[in-house]
């Protein structure tokens, strides 16, 4: 069978057989899955599953590539905090309420 390839955009090829019949064939395009289980097409930016919600990558051949991380400011007015594992730069303050509002002590 004689094969000739013709490119018609992002996702189609044609194979021409001996009879001259052209048949479109779909490429097997790779996709990625983001931190929220959404499917991401190749070439698009996404946050991959893992331990760092501040990571932004490009989906390339089904894998995260060319990743960059956002830097977060330290939690303001909070000594002890926990990072939110699902959202970038979101913190939960673990300090007792009395240490967050010392100016209220004189009014109670």
Least confident of 22-36, 45-59, 93-107: 93-107
CB-based contact 90:77 (threshold 8 Å): no
CA distance 83 to 81: 7
pLDDT higher than 60, residue 29: yes
pLDDT of 39 > 50? The answer is yes
Q: How many CB atoms lie within 10 A of CB 39?
A: 10
Q: Which tokens belong to 93? A: 């303050």
Could you state, in order of their start, the residue ranges of all structural domains in the chain?
Answer: 12-69, 74-108
What pLDDT does residue 6 have? Answer: 34
Residue 68 has pLDDT above 60, yes or no: yes
Q: What is the pTM of this model?
A: 0.56
| Backbone phi and psi for residue 98, each to the nearest 5 degrees, phi listed first | -65, -35
Q: Determine the average pLDDT of the residues in 35-55.
A: 94
Query: Is the model's pLDDT at 41 over the cut of 80?
Result: yes
Question: Which tops the pLDDT comparison, 99 or 76?
Answer: 76
Residue 59: CB atoms within 10 Å:
22
């Amino acid at each position: 069978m004689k094969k000739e390839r013709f490119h018609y955009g992002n996702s189609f090829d044609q194979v021409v057989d001996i009879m001259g019949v052209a048949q479109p064939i779909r490429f097997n395009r790779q996709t990625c899955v983001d931190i929220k289980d959404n499917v991401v097409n190749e070439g698009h930016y996404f946050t991959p599953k893992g331990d760092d919600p501040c990571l932004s990558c490009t989906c390339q051949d089904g894998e995260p590539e060319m990743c960059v991380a956002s830097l977060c400011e330290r939690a303001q007015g909070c000594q002890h905090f926990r990072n939110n594992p699902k959202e970038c730069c979101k913190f939960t303050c673990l300090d007792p309420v009395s240490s967050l509002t010392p100016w209220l002590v004189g009014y109670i």
